[in-house]
Structure 1
Amino acid sequence: MNTPTLETERLILRKFTENDLEAIYLILKDEQVNTYLPWFPAESIEDAKRFYQQRYEACYAKPQAYAYAICLKSDNVPIGYIKVDMDESHDFGYALRKEFWHKGIVTEAGKAVVDQVRKDGLPYITATHDVNNVRSGGVMKQVGMKYCYSYEEQWQPKNFLVTFRMYQLNFDGNSERVFTKYWDQSEKHFVEENV
């Protein structure tokens, strides 16, 4: 299944289309939104188009994917994105235009996506957040994810040292499973108390 349309009380979660380039640009150009994202802010509609082609068009050509535009039901225009990667990490990630922050939108979208990937048989999802981005960790907890460990990484392409917290949610009953790739790759890794 590839990015089936989902609806929540306030939201439509759907595939991005080439008609959404202006909305994608608005999401990607904001430096505050971009602070904790692994790419630089978009500087043009052309940047947004490349992002769409590389991140979404390519994804939608695969047999299974979860790469959603977060849209308000009132106008069906993307205000953010939410995704679960189909590599071994099953990384759960999201971003939202700042004028929509602090309204529970990402948590609402996240719960719908988590329900869908659970129904579709993914064994688990993981997510990471910069320790300075506490609200992102709050979303992870609100969708049912559990903190597993922290690790340091020289973050690319921005090239600065970041301490990440890794969260995981297992769906297949294997409550002991922990995705250890980041732990294994990092020279400095540890478990924090009271996260």
Structure 2
Amino acid sequence: MNVPTLASQRISLRPFHETDMEIVKSLLTDPLATSNLPWVSATSHLNAENFYTHLMDNDPYFFMIEMKNYDLPIGFMKVSTDQSHLLDFALLEEYWHRDILIEAFQLLHPYLVEQGISELYLKVESTHTDSCDFAKRIGFLYEYSYEVKDGSTVRLYHMILIPETARFNPDMWQTHSERFIEAL
């Protein structure tokens, strides 16, 4: 699949290039950059490279986030190709609070609709208020929360992109038997 470059006046989402591996390793090993994600950051660059290879390599919905007129990526946005269509993202801390992820998602949204992706899920560590706010600001709806092995709480958000073809995904509901609704 040919992954396009999607661009706004300020940022671009582009396909991964081999030269991006160092920044991806840095993002995946940075606990702050991945603090929004419900999985633990990689413990080493080798671990990060293995993680990338197994989960993201050749993924048609893996985009590097790049500021225009700046040749280095500052983050990534990814949608899994399995039935869950799970959205993951990471952004270098110095670019937080600039609405870059919102702008990136606004670029990605029409492309996903064009590709026939009818819905998305987003899992966010509940203590990462910036990412929970991001989910709400781009239109995700809170579904439920669940605890993970380390005792932290993860929130599951859901967004329907194409109502006519969206289907309830029982796998997302059945995966977490100990789920609960938080008073948000």
Q: If the TM-score is normalised by the length of the shorter chain, which range does it land in? A: 0.7 to 0.9
Q: How many pairs were matched up?
A: 183
Q: RMSD across aligned C-alpha pairs, in angstroms?
A: 2.3
Q: Find the aligned partners of 2:123 and 2:25 in 1 and give their Cα distance.
A: 24
Verify the 8 A CA contact 2:32 2:93 in the aligned structure 1.
yes
Verify the 8 A CA contact 1:168 1:178 in the aligned structure 2.
no
2:139 to 144, 163, 172: 144
Q: Could you tell me which residue of structure 1 aligns to residue 25 of structure 2?
A: 25
Verify the 8 A CA contact 2:42 2:48 in the aligned structure 1.
no
Equivalent position amino acid for 1:41 in 2: A
Residues 75-121 of structure 1: per-residue CA shift (max 9 Å, x gap): 23111010111101000110101111111111110121122101221
Q: Find the aligned partners of 2:166 and 2:8 in 1 and give their Cα distance.
A: 31
Verify the 8 A CA contact 2:148 2:154 in the aligned structure 1.
yes
Residues 9-44 of structure 1: per-residue CA shift (max 9 Å, x gap): 211101111111222233223232233442433533
Verify the 8 A CA contact 1:18 1:52 in the aligned structure 2.
no
> Normalization by structure 1: what TM-score?
0.81
- Greater CA deviation, 86-95 or 26-35? 26-35
Q: Could you tell me which residue of structure 2 aligns to residue 50 of structure 1?
A: 50
Q: Could you tell me which residue of structure 1 aligns to residue 13 of structure 2?
A: 13
Matching of residue 170 in structure 1 with residue 165 in structure 2: no
Within-5 A mapping of 1:87-106: 87-106=82-101
Matching of residue 80 in structure 1 with residue 75 in structure 2: yes
Within-5 A mapping of 1:33-44: 33-37=33-37, 38-41=39-42, 43-44=44-45
Unaligned 5+ segments in structure 1 are 60-64, 155-159
> Normalization by structure 2: what TM-score?
0.86
Q: Could you tell me which residue of structure 1 aligns to residue 66 of structure 2?
A: 71
- Quick one: structure 1 residues 125 and 165, their matched pair in 2 at CA, closer, same or farther if it must change by over 3 Å? same
Q: Find the aligned partners of 1:42 and 1:6 in 2 and give their Cα distance.
A: 31
Equivalent position amino acid for 1:18 in 2: E
User: Residue 152 of structure 1: CA displacement?
Assistant: 2.3
- Identical aligned residues as a percent: 29
Q: Find the aligned partners of 1:178 and 1:131 in 2 and give their Cα distance.
A: 23
- Quick one: structure 1 residues 150 and 77, their matched pair in 2 at CA, closer, same or farther if it must change by over 3 Å? same
**What secondary structure is seen at the aligned counterpart in 2 of 1:70?**
strand
